Amino acid sequence: MLGLLVAGFALSHLYRTLPAVMAGPLQAGFGIGAEGLGVFAAAFHLAFALVQLPVGLAVDRLGVRRTATLLLLITAAGAAASAVAPAFGWLVAAQAVIGIGCSGLLMAPLVFASHAWPAERFAAVSGAVVSIGGAGMLLSGTPLSLAIELGGWRGAFAACSVLTLIVAAAIHLGLARAPVPARPPVAAGAAGTRLVEDIRGTLAILISPAMRGTAALALISYPALITLRGLWLGPFLDAAYGLDAVTIGNIVLVVSAVMVVAPLGFGRADRPGHRRRLLMTGGGLLAAAALAALGLIGGRMLALDLALTGIAVAAGSFYVLQFAVVRASFPPETMGRALAGLIFCFFAGVAVWQVATGVIAGASGAGAGAADLEGIRRVFLVLGLALGIVSVATGRGRPAAAAL
């Protein structure tokens, strides 16, 4: 059953990372520049972040089967709408619908695992979930590039919609015996009171001392990776080396493979206490250094740039340990909302950084076309500096800020 939920999460990875390969066709089709590309990518992540809290509540109250099935149907509808988008505004709105649909597809397998495995094994299990689900990124590399070559970007969205419907049906049928969370009877007229209490409890989780340091790091840890791989890697390779779409897709595929394997390694290496703190701080600083190096010297040698990109995404995969921090900090009955709070921070950060980096890249004066190399290098430098600063700051205070 966990495998079916992970398949849904893999589709979420496909949708959130497709801008790196679709950037060129979309810019040509709608005449958008770097700022527009940033808005397109951010629409998914902003919608994804904004619905995290109600989706977390739904997982706790309705169970993973019903929640995941409904979300996948919404995702399929958004992909179909993208395929027929007559204007850029329509496409952005459809991306927001996809973001809503994908919002609980990571939370569902993690909540399922939190009930099925003890806390001491959760880091390894969550690392495996993230790694296996990360295979969805592989679909947005070479396979997506080939789909675009064969049927255009509209055909690629249509194919994604059909695939999503298949996974939704598999989860609905395959998890038919999955337990639904027990809910005490609600007295007449008390439903509104329960909802208010649930909202208050969710907000209390978000502002609790156990969440603060982890939340601050989450606003840049995963966002830095997904902004690199999911948005700017393709335009960077095009601007620096003039590579064609399929070659860029092949490179993105390799980078995605690194992002699939690395979380599994962090999960297996994790131990509560000093080792977890060392892995998180060290991973953050190493990823920050690689990003900063891309910002300073990127575009001169392809092999060096690929090595730095690999280091950044491998070391930056430490973010998976933040799930273990949350698992150790909150009781099982609130796990959906606790994980929703963390995932909210991840994707609110992604949305903000993708819009901000679109502005940063466009500030070089590239105009309505693709961002130039100087602008994209500036993006990498800013991401590296931000990740390094926050890694140091939260590393010093992490024992008091989260249960490690």
- Domains contained in the chain, CATH given: 2-176+209-399 (1.20.1250.20)
How far apart are alpha carbons 326 and 300 in whole angstroms? 41
Closest C-alpha among 17, 40, 4, 8 to residue 257 = 17
Amino acid letter, 341: G
Question: Which is it for the CA torsion 302, 303, 304, 305, positive or negative?
Answer: positive
Q: What is the signed CA dihedral for 83, 84, 86, 89, rounded to 10 degrees? A: -50
User: What pLDDT tens digit does each residue of the chain (404 aa) get?
Assistant: 788 999 999 999 899 878 777 878 888 888 888 778 888 888 898 898 888 888 888 887 788 888 999 999 999 999 999 999 999 999 999 999 999 999 999 888 988 888 777 777 787 888 888 888 888 877 877 788 888 889 999 999 999 999 999 999 999 998 876 555 444 444 445 455 666 776 777 778 878 887 888 889 999 999 999 899 878 998 999 999 999 878 888 898 899 889 888 988 898 888 777 888 899 999 999 999 999 999 999 999 999 999 999 999 999 999 999 988 888 888 877 777 788 888 888 888 988 898 899 889 876 554 434 468 999 999 999 999 999 999 999 877 554 344 44
Amino acid letter, 281: T
Q: What is the pLDDT of residue 193?
A: 62
Q: What is the pLDDT of residue 366?
A: 46
Q: What is the pLDDT of residue 194?
A: 62
How far apart are alpha carbons 335 and 327 in whole angstroms? 7
Q: What is the pLDDT of residue 383?
A: 97
Q: What is the pLDDT of residue 187?
A: 45
CA-to-CA dists, residue 191 to 64, 183, 196, 198, 203, angstroms: 21, 12, 9, 11, 19
Q: What is the pLDDT of residue 178?
A: 59
DSSP assignment string, 181-222: PP-----TT-HHHHHHHHHHHHHHHHHSHHHHHHHHHHTTHH
Q: What is the pLDDT of residue 139?
A: 84
Q: What is the signed CA dihedral for 194, 198, 199, 202, rounded to 10 degrees? A: 170
How far apart are alpha carbons 61 and 67 in whole angstroms? 9
CB 124: neighbour CB atoms within 10 A?
A: 17
Q: What is the pLDDT of residue 188?
A: 44
Record the tokens describing residue 118, joined without a space: 């003890």
Instruction: Identify the H or E element spanning 75.
Output: helix 64-83
CA-to-CA dists, residue 230 to 41, 51, 83, 123, 224, angstroms: 8, 21, 20, 25, 10
The answer to whether 326 and 338 are in contact (CB under 8 A) is yes
CA-to-CA dists, residue 36 to 23, 191, 236, 257, angstroms: 10, 43, 16, 28
Q: What is the pLDDT of residue 220?
A: 95
Q: What is the pLDDT of residue 203?
A: 76
The whole-model pTM stands at 0.74
CA-to-CA dists, residue 35 to 234, 251, 269, 377, angstroms: 15, 24, 39, 15
